[in-house]
Amino acid sequence: MIQTISILGSTGSIGTQTLEVCHHLDIKIAALACAQNIELMEKQIREFRPELVSVDNAELAGKLKEALNDFPDMPEILHGMTGNNAVATISSADAVVAAMVGVAGLEPVMTAIRAGKDIALANKETLVAGGALVMPLAKEYGVRLLPVDSEHSAIWQCLAGSPEHSLKRILLTASGGPFRGRKPEDLRNITVEQALAHPTWKMGGKITIDSATLMNKGLEVIEAAWLFECPVENIEVVVHPQSIIHSMVELTDGSVIAQMGFPNMKHPIQLALTWPERQPSGDRRFDPFDPQARNLTFEQPDTKTFRLLPLAYEAAAVGGTMPAVMNAANEEAVWRFLAGKLAFADIAVQVEKIMEMHQKSGWSTNFDFPEIMAADLWARETTRSL
């Protein structure tokens, strides 16, 4: 079992739950990184006593150091991408939990892989934008990518013990979000508060909006394609409102295997940190007669209302820098919606416009990290200009 970890994105939903799991399992914390929530970071430092921390910028680093002036075990405090990379490569950590939001997690994940660190991956944008770089790099350095997303953890568990190349199809489940059953005209006047009211999961703002638009499921399709070497055309999204079945796999003999449980992100986090062992978790015990689990239903996603899901399939089919562009445009559009500057329905409109512009201008299919980041920057700047 992993003994010591560092966490990229320690103040977010996955980061805070990872720290709870580490407390339960007595896993030590070597280093932490966050963006701007230095109040929570201060509390985490006082409780878990990391050697090293990183925040977004020098000003925040100074404020954090001042807040910890009375703390006897003052960690080294860095900032920016230099700090993130230091957290990702600290020698005392056995593994890195990648829980940063967005493509900002790509560089530190690649840096951690080069340092020989196993990656507990909760940052799906890393593979969406850079899967063509990350997967070969992980093989080159012999590190494990341990999925933390509940759906990818479920697929991983369902495939455990199956012969290699026995996967025929992935059935990736989706709750459907808060607007399941709505029509396109119903999405015009959606408020931020309505979009953040997810019916099943409690998550951070960006991923919650992505779940409401079904973009999160599109990103997960691309992530699953990379993690399990499965063509996207063999990955089918299934709306399952109860969120009891976290995903299913169909094998070449026609068998379908599902992983089930009440929604709880601590389970996939703990499994990633203890694999192949399974430790007691103290989670809510599964009861098939519980009202939440008694009736399980499945629906096809409404791709006419939720346009971002088919756009993700299109981006994966085009390949090259298109998934990175799609992801960047979506990130910018989501932040604009959360800031009250863009209508909910126009998130998909803007992403589609950016993808069309990128396709007309040409894109690189033989690329490296600088090309990905250049495409990401172009998409962000162009989205802001719309």
Residue 102: band (very low, low, confident or very high) from pLDDT cuts 50, 70, 90: confident
Pick from 109, 132, 147: which residue ends a domain? 147
In a domain, 277, yes or no: no
Percent of the chain past pLDDT 90, that is, above it, reads 92
Is the bond preceding 276 in cis, omega lying within 30 degrees of 0?
yes
- Whether 69 maps to a domain, the answer reads yes
Share of the chain above pLDDT 70, in %: 100
Q: What is the pLDDT of residue 284?
A: 85
* 223 & 325 share domain: no
Q: 20: domain range?
A: 4-147
The radius of gyration of the chain's CA atoms, rounded to the nearest angstrom, is: 20
Shared domain check, 191 and 80? no
Residue 13 to residues 91, 175, 302: CA-CA distances in angstroms? 26, 18, 28
**Domain stop point among 126, 147, 168:** 147
182 and 226 both lie in a single domain: yes
Output the pLDDT for position 205. Answer: 87
270, 287, 314: which is the final residue of a domain? 314
Query: Taking the C-alpha atoms of 58, 60, 66 and 70 in order, what is their torsion angle to the nearest 10 degrees?
Result: -110
Task: Indicate which CATH number applies to the domain containing 36.
Answer: 3.40.50.720
Residue 34 CB partners (closer than 8 Å, separation 6+): 9, 10, 11, 12, 15, 40, 41, 53, 54, 55, 56
Residues 357 and 373 in one domain: yes
Q: How confident is the model at residue 70 (pLDDT cuts 50, 70, 90)?
A: very high
Q: How many domains does the chain have?
A: 3
10 and 113 within one domain: yes
The confidence band for 204, taking pLDDT boundaries of 50, 70 and 90, is confident
Pair 95, 113 in one domain: yes
Q: Is the same domain home to 31 and 78?
A: yes
164 shares its domain with 140? no
Would you say residue 184 lies in a domain? yes
Question: pTM of the predicted model, to two decimals?
Answer: 0.95
